Amino acid sequence: MKTRITELFGIKHPIIQGGMHYVGFAELAAAVSNAGGLGLITGLTQQSPEALAREIARCREMTDKPFGVNLTFLPSVNPPDYPGYVKAIIDGGVKAVETAGNNPVKWLPPLKEAGIKVIHKCTAVRHALKAESIGCDAVSVDGFECGGHPGEDDVPNMILLPRAADELKIPFVASGGMADARSLVAALAMGADGMNMGTRFIATKEAPVHENVKLAIVAASELDTRLVMRPLRNTERVLNNAGVERLLQKEKELGASIKFEDIIEEVAGVYPRIMQGGEMDAGAWSCGMVAGLIHDIPSVQDLIDRIMSEAETIIRGRLEGLLAA
């Protein structure tokens, strides 16, 4: 399948693996790239630029296909060493970067000078247009269904994707609610050039997370996610568990007076405990409503092959068959 996204990143299939904290290690990124998609190492999971450089080198040993790095720019009292991370990406010969969070404009010149293609994650059309105007090569349009941070506009992809297609000139991928061939064909029909999958890739054999996490996603329905941190205007969609219930109870009791410090126990430092230790009630971890569409734990290769084969069947069989002769 050829789209503007496959052409831009030099990949076989228009499928990108989203950046995910304590999930996007070299093993998963390489597996996605080897299967014809674009795998991404999650930059800030690596504790230092030096650690990221080692992870990039490790990924390069596992694949000769294009892969990228996700770099999220967060407002912080003590920001990460962003210049160091950007240097590690450039020195590592990475040719694709997914940026997220704050406006990446100040980091674009060195990335572009190194020939790196930048795709920025956006939850609103206005943000996507801003990304286009500052020189991003593509955007990932993230609907309200997504795991992680859906923004504060609450617009689902059935509306957001056609709106993006109406406004954008650069290519974009659909993110949030993407799990299978139906997701891909629907995204293409609404004007996207491919799809970005996060939660679906956690439930694969190569995802380097605890088996409890994979089984929790398979067991979950579309009704099992919750929105936390809404009062702080830092909304995150997470899988429900005992830690999340505690967090929501605090939000209910404290109301508008809630501060981040009040919920720090449920949100700070929980990812290693959950993703690596399998402590499923430790606190809040990102998960999309798409969990309701995930029923198995295949290899990445089998998953992508299945998506592409079934997408062709849907397009050539079902959709063409609906047209009157």
pLDDT of residue 325: 66
- Cβ proximity of 154 and 283 under 8 Å: no
User: Band of the pLDDT at 25, cuts 50, 70, 90?
Assistant: very high
pLDDT of residue 77: 78
pLDDT per residue over 251-305, tens digit each?
999 999 999 999 999 999 999 999 999 999 999 999 999 999 999 999 999 999 9
Residue 306 lies in a domain: no
Residue 117 lies in a domain: yes
pLDDT per residue over 42-59, tens digit each?
999 999 999 999 999 999
Tokens 């079902």 sit on residue = 318
- Total structural domains in the chain? 1
Q: What distance in Å separates the CA atoms of residue 97 and residue 106, rounded to the nearest whole number?
A: 14
User: Band of the pLDDT at 239, cuts 50, 70, 90?
Assistant: very high
Residue 249 lies in a domain: no
199 is in which domain, residue-wise? 4-205
Residue 254 lies in a domain: no
Residue 233 lies in a domain: no
Task: Judge if pTM exceeds 0.95.
Answer: yes
Residue 275 lies in a domain: no
Residue 31 lies in a domain: yes
Residue 27 lies in a domain: yes
pLDDT per residue over 151-187, tens digit each?
999 999 999 999 999 999 999 999 999 999 999 999 9
Residues of the chain with pLDDT > 90, as a percent, come to 98
> Which residue, 207, 262, 161, 200, is CA-closest to 42?
207
* AA identity, residue 214: K
Mean pLDDT, rounded, of the chain: 97
The secondary structure of 203-241 as a DSSP string is SSTT--S-HHHHHHHHH--TT-EEEE-TTTT--EEEE--
Q: What distance in Å separates the CA atoms of residue 140 and residue 233, rounded to the nearest whole number?
A: 21
Q: Which tokens is 134 given?
A: 């500052």
pLDDT of residue 76: 80
Convert 4-43 to b/e letters by CB count within 10 Å (16 or more is b): bbbebbebbbbbbbbbbbbbbbbbbbbbbbbbbbbbbbbb
| Residue 166: CATH number of its domain | 3.20.20.70
